[in-house]
Amino acid sequence: MRYNGVDDLYKKFMPDEYVKDIFHILPETLKEKGIKGIITDLDNTLVEWDRPEATPEIIEWIRLMNEEGLQVTILSNNNELRVKAFCDPIGTPFIFDARKPLRKSFKKALSMMDLKKEEVVMVGDQLMTDVLGGNRFGVYTILVVPVASSDGFFTKFNRMMERRIMGKLKRSGMIKWEE
């Protein structure tokens, strides 16, 4: 199937929404959509990939979401040591070694939150893992601009592929937002 010259394959990389950063994701907007839970990536979504702990702003954002009745679960492809060191001090549930974009970890996150797919949003900075995984699993997806301009070793390859995919989506007219 094609849409303005774009294969269905490319549409799997298309987020439902695109925002500058997580601070543009507001609880009232999510709740209007029927969202009760947020699955979020960690590295370059919440903080720089090499920052070990949450910033006061991130802690406040998670607190606000929780106060507004929105559960937050961190879903990261990173290792247990990295994710646990970030999440434990702020009391946020997490899944490490998630192997996004595979569906298994998304299913586990939904089970942990005891929510349905239509009640959850996936937030992340990568098309190849976060958006593709969320779209394949069937949840609402929000792409954010990476918080750091540098990436870990494995992410560099993904970014190169993402630039090609984004170019194809832009040329097809599917992407309407600014860089």
Q: What string of pLDDT tens digits covers the 179 residues of the chain? A: 445 545 666 788 889 999 999 999 999 999 999 999 999 999 999 998 888 899 999 999 999 999 999 999 999 999 999 999 999 999 999 999 999 999 999 999 999 999 999 999 999 999 889 999 999 999 999 999 988 765 556 666 666 677 777 776 777 766 665 54
Q: Are 102 and 141 in contact (CB under 8 A)?
A: no
The CA-based dihedral angle spanning residues 160, 179, 12, 111, taken in that order and rounded to the nearest 10 degrees: 100
Distance CA 37, CA 70 (A): 5
pTM of the model: 0.84
Domains recognised in the chain with CATH numbers: 2-171 (3.40.50.1000)
Q: List, in order, residues 6 or more apart from 101 with CB less than 8 Å away.
A: 128, 129, 130, 132, 133, 136
Q: Are 177 and 159 in contact (CB under 8 A)?
A: no
Distance CA 121, CA 24 (A): 14
Omega cis (within 30) before 101: yes
